[in-house]
Amino acid sequence: MLTLAATAEQRSEHFLANAVLEKASEYGTKLGDLDEFHVEPGYGVVAEVKKHRILVGNLSLIKEYGLVAESELTDYLYSESKLGRTVMVVAEDSEIAGVVSVADTLRERVRESIAEMKQLGVSNVVMLTGDSLPVARQIANQSGIDDVYANLLPADKVKHVREYRKQGHRVIVVGDGINDAPALASANVGIAMGIAGTDVTMETAGIVLMTDDLSKVAKTMRLSQKALSLIKQKVVFALSVNILGLLLSTQGFISPVLASIIHESNALIVVFNSLRLARRKW
3-class SS at 249?
helix
C-alpha 122/C-alpha 256 separation (Å) is 50
DSSP 92-159: ETTEEEEEEEEE--PPTTHHHHHHHHHHTT----EEE-SS-HHHHHHHHHHHT-SEEE-S--HHHHHH
Residues of the chain falling short of pLDDT 50: none
The per-residue pLDDT for 186 is 93
Q: Measuring CA to CA, which residue among 193, 27, 32 is closest to residue 9?
A: 32
Q: Where are the domains of the chain?
A: 2-103, 110-218, 219-279
Evaluated on CA atoms 150, 152, 154, 156, the torsion sign reads: negative
Output the CA torsion sign for 162, 164, 167, 169.
Answer: negative
Query: How do residues 118-143 score in pLDDT, each as one tens digit?
Result: 999 899 999 999 887 887 888 888 88
Residues 156-175: tens digit of each pLDDT: 999 999 999 999 999 999 98
User: Measured at the alpha carbon of residue 22, what is the angle toward residues 21 and 26, in degrees to the nearest 5?
Assistant: 115
Write down the CATH number for the domain with range 2-103.
Answer: 3.40.1110.10
pLDDT of residue 155: 92
What superfamily would CATH give domain 110-218?
HAD superfamily/HAD-like (3.40.50.1000)
